[in-house]
Amino acid sequence: MVILQITKLLKDSRLLFWPLYCFFRLLLKHYEYKFGICIPYNTQIAPGFHIGHYGAIVVNHEAIIGKNCNISHGVTIGASYGGKNPGTPTILNNVYLGPGSKIIGGITIGNNVAVGANCVVTKSVSDSAVIIGIPGKVISYNGSKNYIINTIEKL
């Protein structure tokens, strides 16, 4: 996460820091291949972002991720360029994304939402929902309070 922040800062700086920016971009690519996590440096990520297990995580560079988002391995947060909801997802605060879940299209995942394992979400989800299945369906409104283990307040 620190390398993402530094790369973003250097990208917006003057020409003087261009060699340092190139070095951090290469370092970011190295860790992308090493850990199997593809999160571009220009993705908007709020504090408290937590990756439970590394591997096969892909995030679109236009996605917006809110505070205290906990994601597991195999998660994809991707864009859709056609269909009913073109665009990239916006994930609000205190969201848990289970292993293998896919969030696709110009949708909004509300606050305190828990997305189950291998769930494919292609429609916006309201606050405090628990969503499972393919396609994702809301099964309750108990939220993610039992799933979010790493938050900013605990740090």
Examine the domain organization and report whether 116 and 102 are in the same domain.
yes
Examine the domain organization and report whether 100 and 116 are in the same domain.
yes
What CA–CA distance (Å, rounded) separates 152 from 139? Answer: 28
Examine the domain organization and report whether 55 and 25 are in the same domain.
no
Examine the domain organization and report whether 17 and 52 are in the same domain.
no
Residue-range definition of the domain harbouring residue 112? 38-155
Quote the number of domains for the chain.
2
Examine the domain organization and report whether 59 and 28 are in the same domain.
no
Residue 79 has pLDDT above 60, yes or no: yes
The reported pLDDT for the residue numbered 138 is: 92
- pTM (2 decimals)? 0.83
Examine the domain organization and report whether 29 and 72 are in the same domain.
no
Residue 1 has pLDDT above 70, yes or no: no
Taking alpha carbons only, the member of 150, 153, 152, 155 closest to residue 71 is 150
What CA–CA distance (Å, rounded) separates 114 from 125? Answer: 10
